[in-house]
């Protein structure tokens, strides 16, 4: 459908016109007016933020702690972030100059792109990928370059496939593992291979590790912890997923001082600082939230096993996602496109999923299902989908 022409069209920049609205939101707008829908759609925890974390922010408001913070974020939060990264991954980043507190990974991603890209610079990323990845590059007037990944390779990316896409214009590689939408993770060896390519061609690697804590088998490898990559890495992390804090809007970027300085310049003119109560909540999360993370991750893991088995049992082949909270089953047995499947499923069985095509060409033939919802809802969604698949199987 082409948008209706308006006299105001001339005011819309090419930059804004060059990106499409998120294919995820489109679906959520559809289900606003429907009842009894089970949503496996939006990628967010079904938990409310653990109360002791929220309470810390409430108490700070009672004390009148409502002013701007430093542009870089509250020093205590940067200190704790630095300590967390050291304890977890053995990496050393200085709280002053190498860590910037942002409005979620969303802002950190945008800042990273705007800080490093000149018009026409290329950024290599996987297809499928999180919806903001290509958009953030386009909005910074760069060019996203896709590397195909597939269920056959568990949606991991090979360094040689990335290397094959490198041109004189390539500036960076953007990776996000564990992956949204596939749940794929990368082995340490695959990341080492990728690091070698980045160093050989002197490229920046932007590593979005927002789902790092949601890793179900083995340990997450932080890209920045690989030997010799510090000067080639911008690490992005946040609180939204692990601590069930999506609405607070707080995350961070960690990088060499020159990069953080450039990102901070853009941040200080556009954002000023991440919301003060959200930063206070993040401090509490890092100080006392670890048991909550462990408990929630154990719960996601139980749901992961149920949903993956469920999809395979009802005839939608699903590779085993080892991280994040998404399953990415194939819907090819129905012969439908992912958009048609998702629309019909919503209409006929009131189950909301996201078409794989929202995440890139290689997402076609798949649907993204977020399993951060109750086991009862997952089981009921599987029943409804079984009925739907039986009806539509070719």
Ligand X SMILES: Cc1ncc(COP(=O)(O)O)c(C=O)c1O
- Binding residues (CB under 6 A) for ligand X: these are 43, 104-106, 130, 176, 180, 208, 210, 238, 240, 246, 251
Q: Which is nearer to ligand X, 130 or 341 (CB)?
A: 130
SS3 282: helix
CB 100 within 8 A of CB 73: yes
CB of 185 to ligand X, least distance (A): 13
Query: Hunting for tokens 């749901």 — which residue is that?
Result: 303
As a residue count, the chain comes to 394
H or E segment to which residue 252 belongs: strand 251-254
What does each C-alpha distance from 115 to 81, 123, 323, 374, 383 come to in angstroms?
22, 13, 29, 40, 48
CB of 241 to ligand X, least distance (A): 7
Q: Which is nearer to ligand X, 245 or 389 (CB)?
A: 245
Q: Which is nearer to ligand X, 252 or 388 (CB)?
A: 252
Q: Which is nearer to ligand X, 111 or 197 (CB)?
A: 111
Q: How many helices (H) and strands (E) does the chain have?
A: 13, 12
Ramachandran assignment for 28, one of left (phi > 0), alpha (psi -120 to 50 degrees), beta (any other): alpha
Separation between Cα atoms, residue 158 and residue 126, nearest integer Å: 10
CB of 209 to ligand X, least distance (A): 9
CB of 173 to ligand X, least distance (A): 15
Q: Which is nearer to ligand X, 190 or 384 (CB)?
A: 190
φ, ψ for residue 39, nearest 5 deg: -100, 120
CB 359 within 8 A of CB 342: no
Q: Which is nearer to ligand X, 22 or 70 (CB)?
A: 22
CB of 138 to ligand X, least distance (A): 16
Q: Which is nearer to ligand X, 23 or 43 (CB)?
A: 43
CB of 387 to ligand X, least distance (A): 29
Residue 387 half-sphere exposure toward CB, CA atoms < 13 A: 12
| DSSP-assigned letter for residue 226 | S
Q: Which residue is nearest to ligand X (CB)?
A: 104
- CA torsion sign for 384, 387, 390, 393 is negative
Q: Which is nearer to ligand X, 181 or 336 (CB)?
A: 181
Q: Which is nearer to ligand X, 210 or 259 (CB)?
A: 210
CB of 109 to ligand X, least distance (A): 7
| DSSP-assigned letter for residue 303 | H
Separation between Cα atoms, residue 239 and residue 275, nearest integer Å: 13
CB 104 within 8 A of CB 238: yes
Q: Nearest 5°: CA angle at 324, between 331 and 87? A: 165
CB of 104 to ligand X, least distance (A): 2
H or E segment to which residue 107 belongs: helix 104-116
CA 174 to chain centre: 12
């Amino acid at each position: 459908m082409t948008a209706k022409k308006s006299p105001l069209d001339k005011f819309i920049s090419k930059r804004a016109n060059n990106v499409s609205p998120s294919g995820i939101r489109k679906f959520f707008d559809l289900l606003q007016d429907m009842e009894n829908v089970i949503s496996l759609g939006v990628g967010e925890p079904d938990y409310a933020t653990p109360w002791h974390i929220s309470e810390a922010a409430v108490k700070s408001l009672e004390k009148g702690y409502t002013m701007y913070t430093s542009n870089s974020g509250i020093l205590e939060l940067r200190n704790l972030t630095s300590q967390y990264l050291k304890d977890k991954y053995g990496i050393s980043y200085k709280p002053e100059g190498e860590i910037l507190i942002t409005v979620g990974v969303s802002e950190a991603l945008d800042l990273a792109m705007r800080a490093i890209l000149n018009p026409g610079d290329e950024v290599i990323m996987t297809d499928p990928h999180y919806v903001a990845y290509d958009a953030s590059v386009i909005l910074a007037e760069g060019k996203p370059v896709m590397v195909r990944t597939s269920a056959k390779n568990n949606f991991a990316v090979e360094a040689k496939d990335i290397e094959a896409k490198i041109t004189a214009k390539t500036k960076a590689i953007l990776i996000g593992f564990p992956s949204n939408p596939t749940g794929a993770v990368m082995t340490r060896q695959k990341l080492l291979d990728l690091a070698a390519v980045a160093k050989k061609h002197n490229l920046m690697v932007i590593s979005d590790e927002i789902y790092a804590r949601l890793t179900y088998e083995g340990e997450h490898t932080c890209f920045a912890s690989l030997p010799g990559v510090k000067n080639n890495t911008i690490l992005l992390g946040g609180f939204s997923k692990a601590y069930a804090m999506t609405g607070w809007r707080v995350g961070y970027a960690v990088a060499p001082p020159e990069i953080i300085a450039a990102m901070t310049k853009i941040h200080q003119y556009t954002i000023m600082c991440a919301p003060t109560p959200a930063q206070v909540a993040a401090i509490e999360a890092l100080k006392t939230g670890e048991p909550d993370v462990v408990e929630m991750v154990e719960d996601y893991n139980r749901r992961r096993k149920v949903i993956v088995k469920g999809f395979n049992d009802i005839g939608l082949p699903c590779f085993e996602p080892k991280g994040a909270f998404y399953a990415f089953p194939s819907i090819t047995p129905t012969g439908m496109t992912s958009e048609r499947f998702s629309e019909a499923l919503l209409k006929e069985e009131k189950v909301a999923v996201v078409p794989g095509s929202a995440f890139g060409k290689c997402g076609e033939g798949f649907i993204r299902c977020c399993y951060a919802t109750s086991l009862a809802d997952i089981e009921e969604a599987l029943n409804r989908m079984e009925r739907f698949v039986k009806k539509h199987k070719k």
